[in-house]
Amino acid sequence: MGDATPLTENLLLVYHEELPSETIEYITNKFPEAYIKIIQTLSAGIDHIVSNPIFKDTKIPVTTSSGIHGPHIAEWTVLNWLVASKKYIKIYEAQQKHQWTGVRPFLNGIHDQVGKKIGILGYGSIGRQIARVASALGMSVHAYTASPRPTPASRRDNGFIVPGTGDPDGTIPASWHHGHDKKALHSFLSIGLDHLVISLPLTPETTHILGAEEFSILSASAPGKNRGYKPYVTNISRGKVIDQDALIAALKSGELSGAALDVADPEPLPPDSPLWDAPNVQISPHISGLGVEYVARVFDIVQINLNRLKRGEPLINEYKRGKAY
C-alpha cells in the first residue's frame, strides 16, 4: 500500500497482498522508465484506498481495473449454470467409480439454455460479457440499469473492454429496463425470467435489494415454472445485495431452482452457515474474477492511459472523486 507521501513520477501499485516476484518482474520489463502520474488499482473498485491520503489529499488521477473481469466472471457464470443444468456432479461421480451409466440417469430434467430469458441487474462490463455468451447459447438478454438508456450513445460501454468480448455498443439486449426503486425492480422481475444475474455494485441502496418479496415475484412469472424449471439466481456482486436468509428460504421452498454464488454474507462464510447446504446452491470463495491474465490486462489499461496522457486525451477507467460509485 502507498503511504502518506504522494508520488509524482512513479508507477504506484495498490494491492492488498504482496505481489509475486514474477509480477514485479513483468511490470519492470513492461515499463522500464516508469514516470506515470496515475494511480492504477488492481481492482474494479476503489474502496480500499478511499481513506488513504494519496486519494483524499491529492488530485493524482485514480484509474481502476474495471472491464478486465468480464471474461473470467462470464466463464464462471456459465460454468455454474451448466454444472447445475447438466447434472455435472453425477457425471463426475460416475467417472470416479468407473461407471459407464449410459443415458438413463440423464433422460429427465436436463434442459438446455436455448430460448431462456436472462435478466441482468447492472449492465456493466461483466454483465455485458455474460450477455454475449448467453446470447451465443441462444438465450434472450434483458438489461436493468439505474439510469435510463434510451439512445445508442447511452447504451455504449465507454470503459476498458477486453478485445473480442463484451457488448461495446449495447446491442445484445432484447429489452432495456431501468429504475432506482422497488417498483421498477419488481416490474423488471415480472417480465418472465429464467435467469437473474446480479452484477450491481454494493451501495446503501443496493444492500438487500433482493429479498423474499423479490424472489417471490421472480418465481411467479417464470416461464418455465410449469415445465420443470424455476428461476436460477447468479450473484457475482457482493453478498449483502441479497437477503441471504430469504435466498435460503426460496431455495428450500422451490421458488428458485438454484443459485450460483461467488460472494456471501459474511466472507469468509462460517462453516456452520446454512447457506453451504441450501438446495441446489453452488458456492465459490470470491474467485470468479481470478486468472493468470488478470495482471497483464491491468497493464493493458495502464498502456492505453500512458498513450492517452501523451496525447492529452481523457483517461479511461478514471475514478471521478466526489461522485458516487
Residues that bind a copy of itself (CB under 8 A): 71-72, 74-76, 78-79, 82-83, 85-86, 88-89, 91-92, 94-95, 98-103, 106-115, 132-133, 135-138, 162-165, 227-228, 264, 267-273, 276, 282-287, 290-293
Which residue type sits at 303? Q
Least distance between a copy of itself and beta carbon 43 (Å): 12
Least distance between a copy of itself and beta carbon 22 (Å): 10
Phi and psi for 20 in degrees, rounded to 5? -60, 150
Number of CB atoms found within 10 A of residue 215's CB: 26
Least distance between a copy of itself and beta carbon 32 (Å): 22
d(CA 117, CA 105): 27
Closest listed residue to residue 315, CA positions, set 299, 304, 300: 304
Decide whether 130 or 209 has the Cβ nearer to a copy of itself.
Answer: 130
Decide whether 62 or 132 has the Cβ nearer to a copy of itself.
Answer: 132
Decide whether 58 or 280 has the Cβ nearer to a copy of itself.
Answer: 280
Closest listed residue to residue 300, CA positions, set 48, 30, 43: 30
Largest CA distance in the chain: 67
Q: Report the chain's C-alpha Rg in angstroms.
A: 21
Enumerate the β-bridge partners of residue 40.
13, 63
- Indicate the length of the chain as a whole number: 325
Decide whether 62 or 263 has the Cβ nearer to a copy of itself.
Answer: 263
Enumerate the β-bridge partners of residue 19.
none
Decide whether 206 or 288 has the Cβ nearer to a copy of itself.
Answer: 288
Decide whether 154 or 171 has the Cβ nearer to a copy of itself.
Answer: 171
Decide whether 246 or 264 has the Cβ nearer to a copy of itself.
Answer: 264
Least distance between a copy of itself and beta carbon 292 (Å): 5
H or E stretch at 25? helix 21-30
248, exposed or middle or buried, with CB in 10 Å at 0-12, 13-18, 19+?
buried
Which residue type sits at 312? G
Least distance between a copy of itself and beta carbon 146 (Å): 26
Decide whether 85 or 244 has the Cβ nearer to a copy of itself.
Answer: 85
Q: Name the grid cell of 199.
A: 452484477
Task: Tell me the three state secondary structure of residue 177.
Answer: strand
DSSP string, 123-152: -SHHHHHHHHHHHHTT-EEEEEESS---SH
Decide whether 209 or 251 has the Cβ nearer to a copy of itself.
Answer: 251
DSSP string, 210-269: B-HHHHHHHHHT-TTTTTT---EEEE-S-GGGB-HHHHHHHHHHTSSSEEEES--SSSSP
Least distance between a copy of itself and beta carbon 94 (Å): 7
